[in-house]
C-alpha cells in the first residue's frame, strides 16, 4: 500500500464531476486500499478518489472512534435512494481544506446503494455522523465542497485563510 498526495482547495480538480466505475477490479481495489491508508494517516474519516486526483466515483470511510476497532467502508458508484426530511447539523472539516471547519446542515439519515470492495451491490441506511460523512464524500463526486453549503461570506473567509496558509508554507519550503 502507498500514501497518496491529497490535493487542496482551490485546486480546480476538486470541482470535477467524477465518472462511474465500470468494473471493480484489482486495480480499483489497490486504489481503495491506498486511499484508506492515506485517510488513516491524515488522519480523517472519509476520502473521495478525486481528493487524490482520481476522478472516479469511489469513496472510503471509517467513522469508528479511536477506542473502537477499525470499520472501513468502501463505496463504489454510491447513490442516495432515500433521505430524511429532518436535518442534522455537524461541524465539518475536509482533508482538502486543512484546518478549516464549519457547521453544515444535511438530511439526518440517508439510504444508499453502492458496490462494495468485492463489487457486490449493497444497500445501507446511514445515520448520525456516518450520514453526514457519506453525504460530504458524495458531494466530492459532484465537485462540491462543504464550504459550498455555507454563506459566501464564511466560504470566502475560509478560502482566504487557505491561500494565506499555502503562501506561508511555500515561503517556509
Ligand atoms: Ni472532504
Quote the ligand 1 centre to 170 CA distance (angstroms).
23
First to last CA, the chain: 27
Residue 159, all three cell numbers: 478560502
Quote the ligand 1 centre to 97 CA distance (angstroms).
7
Single out the catalytic residue among 37, 91, 137, 142. 137
Beta bridge partners of 124: 112
- Tell me which residue has cell 467513522: 63
- Span 162-171, mean pLDDT? 84
Residue 60: strand, helix, or coil: strand
pLDDT (tens digit per residue) in 73-112? 999 999 999 999 999 999 999 999 999 999 999 999 999 9
- Span 48-64, mean pLDDT? 98
Residue 140, all three cell numbers: 466530492
Quote the ligand 1 centre to 24 CA distance (angstroms).
23
Active site residue 137: yes
Domain positions in the chain are 12-172
Residue 92, all three cell numbers: 465539518
Quote the ligand 1 centre to 106 CA distance (angstroms).
14
Residue 22: strand, helix, or coil: coil
Percent of the chain clearing pLDDT 90 (strictly above):
91
pLDDT of residue 22: 97
Taking residue 84's Cβ as centre, other Cβ atoms within 10 Å add up to: 15
> Which CATH number is 12-172 given?
3.90.45.10
Measured CA to CA, the distance from residue 22 to residue 101 in angstroms comes to: 34
pLDDT (tens digit per residue) in 30-50? 999 999 999 999 999 999 999
pLDDT of residue 95: 98
Quote the ligand 1 centre to 8 CA distance (angstroms).
10
Q: What is the mean pLDDT of the chain?
A: 96
pLDDT (tens digit per residue) in 67-80? 999 999 999 999 99
What is the gyration radius of the CA atoms in the chain, in angstroms? 16
How would you classify residue 125: left for phi > 0, otherwise alpha for psi between -120 and 50, otherwise beta?
beta
pLDDT (tens digit per residue) in 119-149? 999 999 999 999 999 999 999 999 999 999 9
Amino acid at each position: 500500500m502507498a500514501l497518496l498526495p491529497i490535493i487542496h482547495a482551490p485546486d480546480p480538480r476538486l470541482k470535477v464531476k467524477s465518472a462511474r466505475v465500470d468494473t471493480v477490479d484489482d486495480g480499483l481495489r489497490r486504489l481503495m486500499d491506498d486511499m484508506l491508508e492515506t485517510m488513516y494517516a491524515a488522519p480523517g474519516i472519509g476520502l473521495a478518489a478525486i481528493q487524490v486526483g482520481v476522478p472516479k466515483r469511489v469513496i472510503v470511510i471509517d467513522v469508528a472512534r479511536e477506542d473502537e476497532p477499525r470499520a472501513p467502508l468502501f463505496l463504489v458508484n454510491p447513490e442516495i435512494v432515500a433521505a430524511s426530511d429532518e436535518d442534522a447539523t455537524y461541524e465539518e472539516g475536509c482533508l482538502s481544506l486543512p484546518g478549516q471547519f464549519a457547521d453544515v446542515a444535511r438530511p439526518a439519515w440517508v439510504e444508499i446503494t453502492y458496490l462494495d470492495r468485492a463489487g457486490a451491490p449493497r444497500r445501507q441506511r446511514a445515520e448520525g455522523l456516518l450520514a453526514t460523512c457519506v453525504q460530504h464524500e458524495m458531494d466530492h463526486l459532484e465537485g462540491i465542497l462543504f464550504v459550498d453549503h455555507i454563506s459566501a461570506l464564511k466560504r470566502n473567509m475560509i478560502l482566504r485563510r487557505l491561500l494565506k496558509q499555502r503562501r506561508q508554507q511555500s515561503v517556509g519550503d
